[in-house]
Amino acid sequence: MTEQKITVLVPGRMHPRALERLTAAFDVVQTAPGAELELTDAVKAKIAGVATTNRMPADWIDQLPNLKVIANFGVGYDGVNASHAGTKGIFVTNTPDVLNDEVADTTIGLLINTVRRLPVAETYLREGRWEKEGAFALTPLSLKGRHVGLLGLGRIGLEIAKRLEPFKVKISYHTRTQRADVPYTYAPSLLDLARSVDTLISIIPATPQTYKIINADVLAALGANGVFINVGRGTSVDDEALIAALKTNVIAAAGLDVFYDEPRIPAGFFDLPNLSMLPHVASASVPTRNDMADLVVDNLIGWFRDGTLLTPVPETPVKG
């Protein structure tokens, strides 16, 4: 196969199935985390494709003179400088849609964990406290009768909204552009959304415009019965404001799957009994991660076979 002559760089870690398929189709150069671009100029000149897990800054792109395409593992590609790649005629792909259901399912799980304190209740049982101390304390919060606001109603946000419908909660949303195809109430700003709901779910990408937009004002608007859930990106949240809001009951509870500087968690988070945390696992099942791995590899194979990209990002548009 002609693909075997093409060199693909894997800077750092990569899903094992993606790596296995890449190795079968291409000459793969994999570098260690922390030494991603430690390569000779001759090797750098051979690299035509990159498969990465959300890391490809401009200066890495600039070191690869013959790079044609960067395939990102993940729907969020904020760690890949796609606009810089675009100016150089280099295409970027991501892995949308194949993870929508998994992330939406996990979001509902995290919401219920947060409101009904299920992980705390299980720990109580496992520690033998049920038998010794009696029934686990009633949860002050309930999902019943809530009004949920979605910050972001894209591919994943819409799946979350559909899953919320059978819970009989009211649903509103805020995006920059109102959607004509949904029955949910539109809020023209994030602050308007926070004022009108008691539960806020963030499922927006990390961009300069979304940086720390969930701030003290938004949390105050959400109110004392408020629940905040983040399954988008940690950079959307002002962590100091969130810690203060949870400590002083400006809001009632929060559930986070994503963090500002993963896997480092602010020390203040661990002391908050009204915070439920997951280690960024929303898409982390074997079947869903396999589908994401296949999409990474199929984008690269398609491109080097006949110029087909299955899922190019908007900054580098190509017809698939």
- Annotated catalytic residue 280: yes
- Annotated catalytic residue 233: yes
Q: Which of 31, 139, 175, 290 binds ligand A2R (CB under 6 A)?
A: 175
Tokens of 192: 């308007």
- Interaction residues for ligand A2R, span 29-88 (CB under 6 A): 75-76
Tokens of 89: 């005629």
How far, in Å, CA of 271 to CA of 319, rounded? 49
Of the ranges 45-53, 80-88, 129-137, 170-178, which one interacts with ligand A2R (CB under 6 A)? 170-178
Reduce the DSSP state of residue 292 to 3 states and report it: helix
- Residue 25 interacting with ligand A2R (CB under 6 A): no
- When the beta carbons of 25 and 158 are compared against ligand A2R, the nearer one is 158
Q: Which of 71, 233, 276, 309 binds ligand A2R (CB under 6 A)?
A: 233
Q: Closest approach of Cβ 184 to ligand A2R, in Å? A: 12
Between the CA of residue 191 and those of 100, 147, 211, 301, what are the distances in Å? 26, 15, 15, 44
Q: Which of 49, 149, 157, 302 binds ligand A2R (CB under 6 A)?
A: 157
- Residue 96 interacting with ligand A2R (CB under 6 A): yes
Q: Closest approach of Cβ 81 to ligand A2R, in Å? A: 15
Q: Cβ of 29: how many Cβ atoms within 10 Å?
A: 16
- When the beta carbons of 208 and 273 are compared against ligand A2R, the nearer one is 208
Q: Closest approach of Cβ 159 to ligand A2R, in Å? A: 8
Q: Which of 126, 144, 176, 319 binds ligand A2R (CB under 6 A)?
A: 176
- Residue 266 interacting with ligand A2R (CB under 6 A): no
Q: For the sheet containing 147-151, what is the strand order?
A: 185-186, 170-174, 147-151, 199-202, 227-230, 253-256, 275-277
Nearest Cα to 244, choosing from 211, 266, 213, 277?
A: 266
Nearest Cα to 171, choosing from 159, 160, 181, 184?
A: 184
Tokens of 202: 């963030």
- When the beta carbons of 116 and 195 are compared against ligand A2R, the nearer one is 195
Number of residues that bind ligand A2R (CB under 6 A): 22
What's the angle, vertex CA 81, arms to CA 97 and CA 32, rounded to 5?
A: 90
Spell out, one character per residue from 196 to 215, where the chain touches ligand A2R: x when CB under 6 A holds, - when not. -------xxxxx-xx-----
How far, in Å, CA of 320 to CA of 93, rounded? 11
Catalytic residue among 179, 262, 264, 305: 262
End-to-end CA gap in the chain? 22
Catalytic residue among 17, 147, 280, 315: 280
Q: What are the residues binding ligand A2R (CB under 6 A)? A: 75-76, 96, 152-157, 174-177, 203-207, 209-210, 232-233
- Catalytic positions, please? 233, 262, 280
